[in-house]
A and B are shown apart, each in its own frame.
Chain A
Amino acid sequence: MSLRPEEWAALVLSLKVSLWAVALSLPLAVLVAYLLARREFPGKGLLSAVVHVPLVLPPVVTGYLLLLTFGRNGAVGRWLEDTLGLVLAFRWTGAALAAAIMGFPLMVRAIRLAVEAVDPRLEEAAATLGAPPVARFVFVTLPLISPGILAGAVLGFAKAMGEFGATITFVANIPGQTQTLPSAIYAFLQVPGAETAAMRLVILSLVVAIGAVVISEWLSKRVAARIGRT
């Protein structure tokens, strides 16, 4: 199966967008998951709601809100452009932001479950051994939740690869620039006679998705063996 250049471009862009989305949002997801699982603080309910809202909002609405906020005329978007020279709307960076936001609740949920499964009394034990809070997290909690972090990352990646509604609203569907795999499939389906091309991309999506699942299974087995949970 040989791919045409624009099909290649869609695949490469999708992978780039998804990897960036996961890489940048994962540390924040770990932090938020930990706070939600372990700490009590004012505004905890609000934080939880904000994190989870993309899960229940129509993706088009999320995309439009992103455009209002991060567009060139949006408050944050203008500030980013003026200070950092970073433009998000109608660029691949915006696609990464949309993918990250849509995948974030899934990542937080997976990691939060993992944190809740770790006995907090182990952190207590670490404290009595002289470990300050950060060390307790790094040496005890983090290794024990690593399977959950991995699962969260895979979910986030899968969500980013499939994200369509928010992406097309926020960054449109520009071939070679913001046209991800789902956008490309959508575009082909709009053109009469392009069903074969669409089908090639569908098969490609399947291959990537199955590959991601296989790799994550293999990784999680390795991690489980390393932390002594078989």
Chain B
Amino acid sequence: MKMRVDLTQTYGDFKLDVAFETGPGVTAIFGPSGSGKTTIIKMIAGLVHPDEGRVSMDETVLLDSSKRQSVAVHKRRIGYVFQDGRLFPHLSVARNIRFGGRFTKTPGATPESSVVELLGLGPLMHRLPGDLSGGERQRVALARALLSSPRLLLMDEPLAALDGPRKDEVLPYLEALRDETGVPILYVSHSVDEVARLAEHLILLRDGKIMLSGPTHELLSKPEALPFVGVRDAGSVLHATVVKHDADGLSQLSISGGTLVLPGIDADVGETLVIRILAQDVLISLEEPKGLSSRNILPAIVMSLHKGHGPGVAVSLRLGEDTLLARVTARAAQELQLRPELSCYAIVKATTVPRSSIGHIRNKPI
């Protein structure tokens, strides 16, 4: 599936003007509130009409304002998971998730029994939405959208209305859905954590315009992305394989540039994880440090430096095949004479990888 999107819309002072393509897997549109991300997916779904635009999926044109052509919402076959779930309050969970089935002639790629199992809905089937927790409601909303056999799933901050523990409860289901159904997903979010865990492809949106786009792990490790992601949330995304669990609670993970020792990894040996290392948790040393408490000292090469506003400098480091983003002060960068091609050591504090930043990848379809 290849979707092409080209949209412009003016609301007073705000001008939305975007053009992008998405393929299989999860593409995330990331931006602060008011950047226009929800408007974009509403236009793709047909719920909002742009001043001008064109949306096509493979050979099917869904919208072409130049030809005054627009396919009705219910004929687009695009599933939509809303932030607030929007379950039908008068229907049981079972009847909610079967709602779309009666309007589609194409049988769903995933049968109902698999979706129910995938999202753990078995015990909930006879309940009414009013009796469900926020996390359960979102899982039902995911199942309902999926069972309308969509060609594409749009997700509008499906976790934003949930508190921390509820987010952690639903995230694994989203990962399972991504890895096991093969339905392309366009995911809107303002949370770097979610985007880093779920999306293969990332579009950074600001004030209605696309600032940067590309594969998530590359983009988040780019120093230029730091101002858009935010100083606190900027960090690189690495793939790591669990090698060994030590008796003291630490686990060894192999990454392309060496071995990381991290605590509290809940995964089997051999499993591949997505981990995010925040830029502010990476230190740079020119010499191999001795007598340091951190176990994670990895040889790296400076690739580029990016000076933004304020006293910080974003430094991207080559670490094996991955890129690691570090944030240091401008003064430190100057005193260490950091420059491209400089060999150095990256120091990652073992306790700094937040739990929610560790995602699982199941039999990943590529």
Chain A residues engaging chain B, CB cutoff 8 angstroms: 119, 121-122, 124-133, 135, 139-140, 143-144, 226-229
A-contacting 9-mer, from B70-78, B269-277, B299-307, B345-353: B70-78
A-B contact count (CB 8 A): 70
| 23 chain-A/chain-B pairs, Cβ below 8 angstroms | A119-B86, A121-B86, A124-B47, A125-B82, A125-B86, A127-B46, A128-B47, A128-B73, A128-B74, A128-B80, A128-B145, A129-B99, A129-B100, A129-B103, A129-B144, A129-B145, A129-B148, A130-B75, A130-B104, A130-B148, A135-B103, A144-B89, A229-B130
Query: Most chain-A Cβ atoms within 10 A of its Cβ — which of B80, B90, B129, B144?
Result: B90
Q: A119 — which chain B residues lie within 8 A by C-beta?
A: 86
Please list the 9 inter-chain residue pairs (A to B) with the smallest Cβ-Cβ separation, ordered nearest first.
A130-B103, A129-B100, A227-B90, A128-B80, A127-B73, A125-B86, A228-B128, A129-B148, A127-B74
- Within 60-118 of B, Cβ neighbours of A (below 8 Å) are at 72-75, 77-80, 82, 86, 88-91, 99-100, 103-104
CA of A127 to CA of B77, assembled, Å: 10
| Residue B45 is within 8 A (CB to CB) of chain A in the complex | yes
Q: B148 — which chain A residues lie within 8 A by C-beta?
A: 128-130
CB contact between B78 and one of A122, A128, A131 (< 8 Å): that residue = A128
Q: B130 — which chain A residues lie within 8 A by C-beta?
A: 228-229
CB contact between B74 and one of A132, A140, A226 (< 8 Å): that residue = A132
User: Do the beta carbons of A130 and B74 come within 8 Å of each other?
Assistant: yes
* CB proximity of A129 to chain B, nearest CB, Å: 4
CA of A121 to CA of B128, assembled, Å: 18
Chain B residue nearest to A230 (CB atoms) is: B130
* CB proximity of B161 to chain A, nearest CB, Å: 14
Chain B residue nearest to A223 (CB atoms) is: B90
Query: Most chain-B Cβ atoms within 10 A of its Cβ — which of A124, A132, A140, A226?
Result: A124
Q: B80 — which chain A residues lie within 8 A by C-beta?
A: 125, 128
User: Do the beta carbons of A228 and B89 come within 8 Å of each other?
Assistant: yes
CB contact between A130 and one of B82, B100, B128, B129 (< 8 Å): that residue = B100
Fill in one digit per residue for B318-344: 1 if any A CB lies within 8 Å of its CB, else 0: 000000000000000000000000000
Beyond A122-B88, A125-B88, A130-B148, list 13 extra A-B contacts (CB 8 Å): A125-B82, A126-B88, A128-B47, A128-B145, A128-B148, A129-B99, A130-B75, A130-B77, A132-B74, A140-B88, A144-B90, A228-B91, A228-B129
- Within 24-78 of B, Cβ neighbours of A (below 8 Å) are at 45-47, 72-75, 77-78
Query: Most chain-A Cβ atoms within 10 A of its Cβ — which of B73, B91, B144?
Result: B73
User: Do the beta carbons of B99 and A126 come within 8 Å of each other?
Assistant: yes
Q: B82 — which chain A residues lie within 8 A by C-beta?
A: 121, 125
* CB proximity of A174 to chain B, nearest CB, Å: 47
Q: A228 — which chain B residues lie within 8 A by C-beta?
A: 89-91, 128-130
User: Do the beta carbons of B88 and A128 come within 8 Å of each other?
Assistant: no
CA of A229 to CA of B104, assembled, Å: 29
Q: B46 — which chain A residues lie within 8 A by C-beta?
A: 127
* CB proximity of B89 to chain A, nearest CB, Å: 5
User: Do the beta carbons of A128 and B89 come within 8 Å of each other?
Assistant: no
* CB proximity of B88 to chain A, nearest CB, Å: 6
Chain B residue nearest to A140 (CB atoms) is: B88
CA of A88 to CA of B275, assembled, Å: 80
CA of A168 to CA of B251, assembled, Å: 91
Chain A residue nearest to B147 (CB atoms) is: A129
Query: Most chain-A Cβ atoms within 10 A of its Cβ — which of B45, B82, B99?
Result: B99
Q: A129 — which chain B residues lie within 8 A by C-beta?
A: 74, 79, 99-100, 103, 144-145, 148
Q: A135 — which chain B residues lie within 8 A by C-beta?
A: 103
User: Do the beta carbons of A131 and B86 come within 8 Å of each other?
Assistant: no
User: Do the beta carbons of B78 and A139 come within 8 Å of each other?
Assistant: no
Query: Most chain-A Cβ atoms within 10 A of its Cβ — which of B72, B74, B75?
Result: B74
Fill in one digit per residue for B127-144: 1 if any A CB lies within 8 Å of its CB, else 0: 011100000000000001
Q: A122 — which chain B residues lie within 8 A by C-beta?
A: 86, 88-89
CA of A226 to CA of B82, assembled, Å: 25
CA of A130 to CA of B104, assembled, Å: 7
* CB proximity of B112 to chain A, nearest CB, Å: 14
Q: A126 — which chain B residues lie within 8 A by C-beta?
A: 88, 99
CB contact between B90 and one of A124, A128, A143 (< 8 Å): that residue = A143
User: Do the beta carbons of B89 and A229 come within 8 Å of each other?
Assistant: yes
